[in-house]
Amino acid sequence: MSDDRETDTASESSYQLSRHKKSPSSLTNLSSSSGMTSLSSVSGSVMSVYSGDFGNLEVKGNIQFAIEYVESLKELHVFVAQCKDLAAADVKKQRSDPYVKAYLLPDKGKMGKKKTLVVKKTLNPVYNEILRYKIEKQILKTQKLNLSVWHRDSFKRNSFLGEVELDLETWDWDNKQNKQLRWYPLKRKTAPVALEAENRGDMKLALQYVPEPVPGKKLPTTGEVHIWVKECLDLPLLRGSHLNSFVKCTILPDTSRKSRQKTRAVGKTTNPIFNHTMVYDGFRPEDLMEACVELTVWDHYKLTNQFLGGLRIGFGTGKSYGTEVDWMDSTSEEVALWEKMVNSPNTWIEATLPLRMLLIAKISK
């Protein structure tokens, strides 16, 4: 998930399209999983987005677990026993490498996620692990417990195998029966209503298209897109009160590392001011129809980057150079900013846009 080893690129990058023009197949390094960009359900808000994959595998099977609140420790204990009859991620060999992930929702990050170990090569994994949450009982009664089962492949990508959600507000904690292990059927992702309430904060930015950066040149020059990342507002806290955020920019469909630029990280605030301008050259007027500026906000912690939210600014047509792509999914506000930029060359166009869930294109080398 982390690509911290890369160095910050210079402030100018070229937008390389020639290779995409020749073969649409070179677009295949972009994520192509179906319908993934509109992640449904509240649990969507807390996915390890970088590697989440829904929709490819059927959801079947059951999970056995029990929950108990231990008053003396002020802890919720989730005893994850086992799963049975899971879907097979490896269809040929009829097996998966499953693990279980737990969240308390609406998880604002104080708890973080908990997960079991991965059990390899089985559709009937046995875990017998206790996942513990330090939490006051009154607060617990406002939460939902979400347990999801995932297959983890050798590239550390995760595929969704099903989930169960318990409403802890209506849970009878005094009933002894409720402390017993019980089987629950795994379900698909739940309805999308809850995700809308999930606030990921906003980004204040300005864009400018410069059609002729070097006026008076005999040869026609290609244009530049300037992206001024000003600040982010009300970013979500995923790990208690700590936040060390930065913004990364890629111009799709070019996912090569050299097209990537990023700001410095700003720590200890949910309202970081970046004031960082990125310049991409190589834009002909017709490229503005086909390209999309992907800005993603990350929380950098130790060796990993956790995705907080992002924007995709373009015409949102669903296509790029004649190929259908799922990243051409700009919202009406994102489209409006891009249209204004295209129609007002050499002028900064400013906007404050809400960050959203994205499935991020895999990075090509």
pLDDT tens for the 365 residues of the chain, in order: 434 333 333 345 665 543 343 333 333 333 322 222 222 222 333 333 333 455 567 789 999 999 999 999 999 999 999 999 999 988 889 999 999 999 888 764 545 678 999 999 999 999 999 999 988 898 888 888 989 999 988 777 778 899 999 999 889 998 888 889 999 999 887 533 333 335 789 999 999 999 987 777 666 678 999 999 999 999 988 766 789 999 999 999 988 887 899 999 999 999 999 999 999 988 988 999 999 999 999 998 877 888 899 999 999 998 999 998 888 989 899 999 999 999 999 999 999 999 988 876 555 54
DSSP secondary structure, 189-223, as one string: ---GGGGGG----EEEEEEEEES-SSTT-SSPPPE
Shared domain check, 165 and 84: yes
The verdict on residue 29 lying in a domain is no
Q: Are residues 206 and 171 in the same domain?
A: no
Distance CA 145, CA 113 (A): 11
Say yes or no: 210 and 178 in one domain. no
CB neighbours of 18 closer than 8 A, spacing ≥ 6?
Answer: none
- Which of 156, 185, 214 lies at the terminal end of a domain, its last residue? 185
Say whether both 181 and 210 belong to one domain. no
What pLDDT score does 219 carry? 67
Tokens representing 55 are: 């929709």
Dist. CA 234–CA 232, nearest whole Å: 7
Contacts of 117 (CB under 8 A, 6+ apart): 99, 127, 129
Is 215 part of any domain?
yes
Measured CA to CA in angstroms, residue 107 lies from 46, 198, 239, 253 at distances of 8, 10, 10, 33
d(CA 247, CA 230): 10
Structural domain includes residue 360? no
Do the domain assignments include residue 18?
no
Say yes or no: 219 and 172 in one domain: no
Asked whether residue 363 is domain-assigned, the answer is: no
Q: Is 195 inside a domain boundary?
A: no
The enclosing domain of 273 has a CATH number of 2.60.40.150
Contacts of 13 (CB under 8 A, 6+ apart): 251, 258, 259, 260, 261, 278, 279, 280, 281
User: What is the DSSP code (8-state) at residue 341?
Assistant: H
What does the angle CA 167 – CA 170 – CA 172 come to, to the nearest 5 degrees?
A: 115
Count of positions (residues) in the chain = 365
Structural tokens at position 93? 């060999």
Domain with 158 in it: 46-185
Question: Same domain for 279 and 178?
Answer: no
The CA–CA distances, whole Å, from 223 to 13, 28, 261, 284, 346 equal 12, 26, 18, 6, 10
pLDDT of residue 310: 93
3-state secondary structure of 337: helix
Among 129, 158, 185, the domain-final residue is 185
Same domain, 221 and 340: yes
Q: What pTM did the predictor assign?
A: 0.52
Q: How many domains does the chain have?
A: 2
Q: Flag whether 105 is in a domain.
A: yes
Domain contains 4: no
CA 97 from chain center: how many Å?
A: 22
DSSP 21-54: HH-GGGGGGS---TTTTS--SGGGGGS-GGG---
CB atoms within 10 A of CB 117: 10
pLDDT at 218: 66
